[in-house]
Amino acid sequence: MTAQHVYQVYIRAEVEEVWRALTDPESTRQYFHATHWETPPVAGEPFHTSLPDGRTAVDGVVEVVDPPHRLVHTWHPVYDVELAAEPPSRVAWELTRAGDRLTHLRLTHSALEQSPLTSENVRDGWVWILDSLKTLLETGAPLPRADLMPENA
């Protein structure tokens, strides 16, 4: 099992635009499997994201909020009973200006040693989310749902 997944993507948008898309509920609903933050992320505070029907998708604790460059939080998916039984892992979002209207986004999902199901679940899941975020910011619309995606994604 992989204890850490690292993803990198370049997005044709200003760092502030990418940050807003990561933390704004209206934006996340468009690219993050229709989930959204219930409250803005605050360092040291618990958080949860919600599914369209109001159920909690993921909960955790926000560890670092450094707008518009860094957001770190624990990650405990609760939308699935088996995933919810695993301990929380950790997600770090790092945004760096890479040029004129160009942002480098690095997502590191770590602390997965005791969470093999979560590790497997997010391995390709983050690719979809980051691709859809990039598409949303560059075209104004997220990716359409892929025919090959599982129904619960």
Q: Report pLDDT digits (tens) over 11-69.
A: 999 999 999 999 999 999 999 999 999 999 999 999 999 999 999 999 999 999 999 99
Share of the chain above pLDDT 90, in %: 92
Domain CATH number, residue 118: 3.30.530.20
User: Is residue 153 situated within a structural domain?
Assistant: no
Please report the pLDDT score of residue 147 as a whole number.
64
User: Is residue 148 situated within a structural domain?
Assistant: no
Q: Which residue segment(s) compose the domain that 60 sits in?
A: 5-139
- Domains held by the chain: number: 1
User: Is residue 152 situated within a structural domain?
Assistant: no
Using pLDDT thresholds of 50, 70 and 90, give the confidence band for residue 152: very low
User: Is residue 103 situated within a structural domain?
Assistant: yes
Measured between alpha carbons, how far is residue 73 from residues 37, 42, 144, 147 in Å? 12, 10, 28, 31
Look over the chain and give the mean of its residue pLDDT values, rounded to a whole number: 94
* 3-class state of residue 143 by DSSP: coil
